[in-house]
Amino acid sequence: MGPRFAAEAFNASTTAAARLRVTLYGSLAATGRGHLTDVAVSEPFSPMPVEIVWAPEQSLPRHPNGMKFEALDASGNIVASRIMYSVGGGALLDEDGKPDGGGEVYPYTSMREILEQTEREGLLLWQLADLHEGREIWPYLVGVWVAMKKAIETGLNTEGRLPGSLNVPRKASAYYARAQSMAGHSGETALLFAYALAVSETNASGGEVVTAPTCGACGVLPAVLFFLQRQLQFSDEKICRALATAGMIGNIVKRNASISGAEVGCQGEVGTACAMAGAAAAQLLGGSVRQIEYAAEMGLEHHLGLTCDPIGGYVQIPCIERNAIAAVRAVDCATYALLSDGHHIVSFDEVVRSMWETGCDMKSSYRETAQGGLAKIYLLRKTGANGFPGMGS
């Protein structure tokens, strides 16, 4: 999403250009083919030819997801150029590290400040969104919810295999069908799995999804909201309020740590998605502000240290299954928090900080470079190298 927005922003500078050159650096290059980044940065310039330069060994100074756009005239002279960074969820930084478009709306720098205001003024979390974002947030969130439901519907109604060399079969449709004949807790879990798989499979095939907080982790929040709406008949209005709260949780993580797998591993993507969905579920189920914060804290805490090691650079394995598991975990976090009085030892702010420090300590091979963990083991198996002969493909 970020690379596409960056390309669209640069497009205005290309009126004198005959062709484009886009250099992808670091993690963006290492997993760019699997993430369809080359397609994302080329499409906005169509039909102008775009040369993609992959530079996985080089990193630009501010973030592992750097990119350089260059517009060239017919003689090959550079007529415009721009460096940008994709920092997760479609957000961009410019060359100087300043947010490119869309400044900070919320005045808070921590969850602690949010909790203090809600308690001081007797407000609910979603009411803070209303206060700072204005009334226009609600029609916007209605659009978000419509897009999320469409992604679920698309995924549930599509069969076959996902694009890419891994040949991964889609599961959402079959899981949904099987869930219909399962009763009780198993049936509910199966439905949650199916909804999350549906969105993540839609993403893996280049379909339209909502970054929540990122494309890789896009299945968790819609699955939880859709599941709860169907089970308990929540109105769209209540769902949108839960979305507003989820957005505030994601925003705190983005502000004080990172939602980029390339920067902090999957704890920042699926971990944050689980925190957002846990908070949204706790709110829908009647939790207090403290219980909502507890659910969010647990959602992130129990993903601490989670690496990003997508096989072949595709957002498929472990990503798709991981979204399904995190959706169930988010509902569990909400249930756990609602059983408590909301008091707990480690705060959400502290777990965010811990996640950031853990991510900083993580070797780059575990941060969206497809060089470590599952990605490496799979490659060894495929090539029969380093003690992995005879394991088949």
**Stretch 347-386: interaction string toward ligand SF4, x if CB under 6 A:** ---------------------x------------------
| Comparison of 115 and 212: residue with beta carbon closer to ligand SF4 | 212
Using rule CB under 6 A, residue 216 touches ligand SF4: yes
CA torsion 212→217→218→223, rounded to 10°? -100
d(CA 182, CA 31): 38
**Going by C-beta distance under 8 Å and a sequence separation of 6 or more, which residues neighbour residue 357?**
none
| Comparison of 216 and 247: residue with beta carbon closer to ligand SF4 | 216
d(CA 194, CA 173): 7
Tokens, residue 277 = 């969905």
| Comparison of 154 and 260: residue with beta carbon closer to ligand SF4 | 260
d(CA 347, CA 148): 30
Nearest distance from C-beta of residue 252 to ligand SF4, angstroms: 19
Using rule CB under 6 A, residue 201 touches ligand SF4: no
Nearest distance from C-beta of residue 192 to ligand SF4, angstroms: 17
Using rule CB under 6 A, residue 263 touches ligand SF4: no
d(CA 259, CA 272): 7
Nearest distance from C-beta of residue 50 to ligand SF4, angstroms: 24
Nearest distance from C-beta of residue 357 to ligand SF4, angstroms: 18
| Comparison of 138 and 193: residue with beta carbon closer to ligand SF4 | 193
**Residue 191: half-sphere exposure toward Cβ, Cα within 13 Å:** 18
Nearest distance from C-beta of residue 118 to ligand SF4, angstroms: 31
C-alpha distance from residue 120 to each of 72, 117, 124, 125, 285 (Å): 57, 5, 11, 12, 23
- Using CB under 6 A as the binding rule, the residues of this chain from 26 to 65 that contact ligand SF4 are none
| Comparison of 17 and 370: residue with beta carbon closer to ligand SF4 | 370
Gyration radius (Cα) of the chain, Å: 21
| Comparison of 67 and 262: residue with beta carbon closer to ligand SF4 | 262
Q: Cβ distance 300 to 351 under 8 Å? A: yes
d(CA 317, CA 310): 6
| Interacting span for ligand SF4 (CB under 6 A) from 177-185, 265-273, 297-305, 378-386 | 265-273
Could you say which of 92, 217, 240, 274 contacts ligand SF4 (CB under 6 A)? Answer: 217
| Interacting span for ligand SF4 (CB under 6 A) from 73-81, 151-159, 224-232, 262-270 | 262-270
d(CA 14, CA 74): 12
Using rule CB under 6 A, residue 270 touches ligand SF4: yes
Number of Cβ atoms within 10 Å of the Cβ of 282: 33
Query: How many positions of this chain bind ligand SF4 (CB under 6 A)?
Result: 12
| Comparison of 349 and 368: residue with beta carbon closer to ligand SF4 | 368
Number of Cβ atoms within 10 Å of the Cβ of 259: 28
Q: Report the alpha-carbon angle 184-243-152, nearest 5.
A: 55
d(CA 145, CA 149): 6
The strand pair at 78-88 and 91-94 is best described as antiparallel
| Comparison of 270 and 295: residue with beta carbon closer to ligand SF4 | 270
- Using CB under 6 A as the binding rule, the residues of this chain from 296 to 335 that contact ligand SF4 are 308, 310, 315, 318-319
Tokens, residue 73 = 């005239």
Nearest distance from C-beta of residue 105 to ligand SF4, angstroms: 25
| Comparison of 37 and 251: residue with beta carbon closer to ligand SF4 | 37
Q: How far is C-alpha 104 from the geometric centre of its chain's CA atoms? A: 19
| Residues near ligand SF4 (CB under 6 A) | 216-217, 261, 266, 269-270, 308, 310, 315, 318-319, 368
